[in-house]
A and B are shown apart, each in its own frame.
Chain A
C-alpha cells in the first residue's frame, strides 16, 4: 500500500510549479503577519467583533 501511495506521487512539472507558488504565498503571508508593529495592530483588530455600538433607542439590547 505504501508503495502504491508513493507511486502516485510522481510530481510532474505543474505540481512543482503549484507547490512553489504556494510556498511563495505562504512565506509572504507569514512575513506579512509578523512584520514589525503588527502585534498591537492585530490586538486591536481582534477586538472588533466584541465592541458593539451602544444602542440609542429604548428597547434595544
Chain B
C-alpha cells in the first residue's frame, strides 16, 4: 500500500507556494456510510409502513410480543433518525469536510471505530427494542449500556472530527463546517443530560429526573434532537452539496452566518412547545411558545438562501433529479418550519396536540426534507465515489416523483385525520355535553385515513427501492480497483496564515475552539434559563406526606406499561380544556407524576388518556380488555397482549427496584424495601382472588397481567381521594 493510500502525506518543496503536500481522501469510509444509509433507510421505511398498517388493521400485531406496535414504533423512529439519517449525515460530513479542509480525516482507525461502533449500536437497538428493553422516553429509548456506547462512539467521532479541523490545509472554515460543529457539540450535551439513569439491572434503569422535570428535560432533548440531528447537519450538507450540484456558490454567505447563529440560539429554547397545557409551569410554556414562533425566521432564512442558490439554474431542475430533490426538500423544510411555529401557538396546539396532525408535521420534515436531501446527496456522491456514471437518470426521476407523491399522500391524509379527530374531541353541544363521548368513535372515523397513510408510506418505500436498484446497478459498473483520489495542496505555513507571532498550529486550533465555545454558550444559555428554575422551584415537586409512592407491584406494572410502549398510544395528561375535563375528569396536576420515572405523559392519543383510568372499570374489565380489546370495545384498534397472561411476574427484582427508587429520594421505608417481594406477592394474590370472584380463571396471581392491572387501577386515585388539590 502506498503512502497516499494509507493516509500519510508526502511533501514536495515547490518554490511558489512553499511545501506542497500530496495526500488522499478517505473515500472508503464515505462509501461504507452510504451503503449503511441505504440498508438502514430500507429497514426504517419498511418498519414505518408496517406500523402504519398495524394502526389500520390491528391483526397485523399478530399477538406476538416483539412485533406489537408499542415495541415496533420506537424501532421505526430510532432506525429513521439515528440509522438512516445518522449514517447519511456521517457520509456527507466525511465526504465534504475532507474536501473543504483539504485534508484526509485525522485517523482512519477512529473513522473505522466510528463506523462499526455506530452499526453495532443500531444492531443492538434492533435487538433490544423489540424485546421491550426501553427507557420509555421518545427518541431516547435505548437502555443504559447502549446509551453509554453511544456516548463513547460520539466522542470517538468528535475527536476525529476536531483533529481533522486542526490539521486542515485550508485556512478558512466554510459555513457547512460551522453547522457540523454545532451538531457534534450539542448532540453530546443533549444525549448525556437526558439519559442519566440509575441501573436496576443490565436492561432496566430509572432516570434521575421525575415527573415535570423529566418531562422538561426529555422535551428539551426531544425537540433539539430534531434541531441538531435533523436540522443543523442537514443545513450544513445543503450548504455544501447544493452549490456543488447547482455549480453556483451559495446565494448569500452573510445570510448563512446570521441564520446559523439565530437558529442555534433560538432552537434550544423551543422544547416546551411539546408540553403546552400540561402541568409544566406556565412561564416555561410561554417561553417555549415565544421562541418557537421566532424560529420561523431563521428557518426560512436557510430555506430562502438554499432556493436562491439556484438562481440562473432553474431550467436544470426540469431535467436533473438531484436538483429536483433539493428544491422539493427545501420546500418541505419551509413548509414544516412554518407549520412548527403555528403548532406552537397555544390555541392551535389545543386542537392539534395528541392528534395525527403532529405525525403529518414530523413526516413533512423527515420524508420531505431529510429523506430528499439524503437522496440528492447519495445520487451526487455515488457516481463520483465509485468512479462511474449513474446507471439511470430516468429511474432517479421516477424515484423523485413516487417519493414526492408518497410524501404528499402521507401528509395530507394525516392532516385530515388529525384535524378531524381534534375537532371531534372538543365538540360540545348546546347543553354542555360532549358530542362524541365515546373515544372509539373518533378513532373509527379516521381508520380509513390510516389505510391511505399506509399507501403514501408504501409509495415512498417503492421510490426508495427504485433508488436501491439504481445504485446497485451503478456500483456494479464501477471499476474493480477503487483507489482513493490523490491530490496535493500547500501546507499552511506562517506565510499563508498571515499572522505574525503565533505558530500556525495555534492559529488553526484557535478559531474552531473559539467558535465551539461560542456555540456551547449559545445553546447553554437557553438550557440554563429553561431547565435550572424547574429544578430549583419547589412548589410542584414539594413532598406531600399524604402521597404514597407506588407499591412494589404497581411500580412493576408501570414498568410493564413502559415496556409495552403503551405511552405511544395513550397520554397521561389531562389538559385544562373544557372538552377534555368533560371527557376525562379534572385536569392533571404536577404532583400527580412526582414519583414517575420516567414520566409517561405521552405525545399521541391513538387511545384515550389514562391519567384517571384507575377505578373507572372493574379489574375484570381490564383483564378481558388486555386479552382482547375487541371483546369489550368492539372495533378497537388496540393490540392484544396475550403473553402477559402467560409470562410470570419477576417478583425478585421488585426489591431492587424499590431500593433504586429510594436512593433517588422516593420515600419508601426500610420495611417496605426489605419485604418488597412478599408484599408484592400478597397484593397480587388479592387482585387475582378478586378476579376469580368476578369470574376470571384461577391461578393468575403470578402473571404479569396482575401487576399491570394493579398499576392501571392506581392511576388518578390520589386525586380522586383528595390527596392532591
Contacts and interface: CB of A to CB of B under 8 A. Distances in A.
Specify whether A and B are partners. Answer: yes
Interface of A: 1, 4-5, 8-15, 17-19, 21-22, 25-26, 29-30, 32-34, 38, 42-50, 52-57, 59-61
A29 B255 CA distance: 10
Contacts of A1: 347
Interface in B237-254: 239-240, 243-244, 247-250, 253-254
Given A18-B269, A34-B254, A45-B172, A8 B487 contact: no
B100 A50 contact: no
Given A22-B262, A57-B485, 8 more contacts: A5-B347, A25-B265, A29-B262, A42-B253, A45-B175, A48-B172, A53-B488, A61-B384
Given A5-B346, A29-B257, A47-B249, A11 B244 contact: no
Interface stretch (B284-292, B406-414, B542-550, B626-634): B284-292
Nearest to B266: A22
23 contacts: A1-B347, A10-B286, A14-B529, A15-B283, A21-B525, A22-B294, A25-B265, A25-B522, A29-B262, A33-B254, A34-B254, A42-B253, A45-B172, A45-B175, A49-B100, A49-B240, A50-B247, A55-B485, A55-B487, A56-B486, A57-B485, A60-B486, A61-B387
Contact of A18 (B175, B522, B526): B526
Contacts, number: 119
Contact of A8 (B244, B257, B294, B346): B346
A5 B487 CA distance: 59
Nearest to A28: B261
Cβ-closest 4 pairs across A and B: A53-B487, A42-B253, A46-B249, A8-B346
Nearest to A34: B254
B518 to A, nearest CB: 10
Interface in B518-560: 522, 525-526, 529, 533
Contacts of B249: 46-47, 49-50
Nearest to A58: B483
Contacts of B240: 49
User: What band does the interface of chain B fall in when counting residues whose beta carbon is under 8 Å from A?
Assistant: 35 or more
Tell me whether chain B's interface is mostly helix, strand or loop, or mixed.
helix
Contact of A15 (B287, B345, B346, B487): B287
B681 interface: no
Contacts of A43: 253
A26 B345 contact: no
A34 B265 CA distance: 20
B102 A53 contact: yes
Nearest to A29: B261
Contacts of B243: 49-50
Contact of B286 (A15, A30, A42): A15
Contacts of A60: 387, 483, 485-486
B283 A26 contact: no
A18 to B, nearest CB: 6
Contact of B533 (A14, A55, A61): A14
Nearest to A17: B529
Contacts of A33: 254, 257-258
B704 interface: no
Interface string B267-293: 001000000000000110111011100
Contacts of B262: 22, 25-26, 29
A6 B253 CA distance: 36
B100 A48 contact: yes
Given A45-B172, A56-B22, A14 B486 contact: no
A29 B529 contact: no
Contact of A54 (B248, B261, B487): B487
Nearest to A26: B262
A18 B291 contact: yes
Nearest to A30: B258
B102 A14 contact: no
A32 B289 CA distance: 29
A8 B287 contact: no
Interface in B127-178: 170, 172, 174-176
Nearest to B291: A18
B99 interface: yes
B258 A4 contact: no
B265 A22 contact: yes
A35 B22 CA distance: 37
B430 interface: no
B477 to A, nearest CB: 14
Contacts of B283: 12-15
Contacts of A38: 254
A48 to B, nearest CB: 4
A55 B99 CA distance: 12
Nearest to B101: A48
Nearest to B479: A59
A4 B346 contact: yes
Contacts of B102: 53
B489 interface: yes
A12 B265 CA distance: 19
A57 B483 contact: yes
A31 B506 CA distance: 27
A45 B257 CA distance: 12
A17 B528 CA distance: 12
A29 B100 contact: no
Contact of B289 (A8, A45, A48, A49): A8
Nearest to B388: A61
Most buried by A among B170, B172, B287, B291: B287
A56 to B, nearest CB: 5
Nearest to B5: A57
A49 B176 contact: yes
Interface in B599-644: none
Most buried by B among A5, A45, A46: A46
A22 B295 CA distance: 11
B95 to A, nearest CB: 11
B176 A18 contact: no
A44 B392 CA distance: 36
B175 A8 contact: no
Nearest to A21: B525
Nearest to A7: B346
A22 to B, nearest CB: 6
A4 B349 CA distance: 12
A29 B258 contact: yes
A37 B392 CA distance: 46
Contacts of A54: 487
Interface string B288-313: 01110010000000000000000000
Contacts of A10: 286
A16 to B, nearest CB: 10
Given A5-B347, A8-B346, A57 B174 contact: no
A44 B347 CA distance: 47
A61 B522 CA distance: 41
A10 B489 CA distance: 57
A49 B244 contact: yes
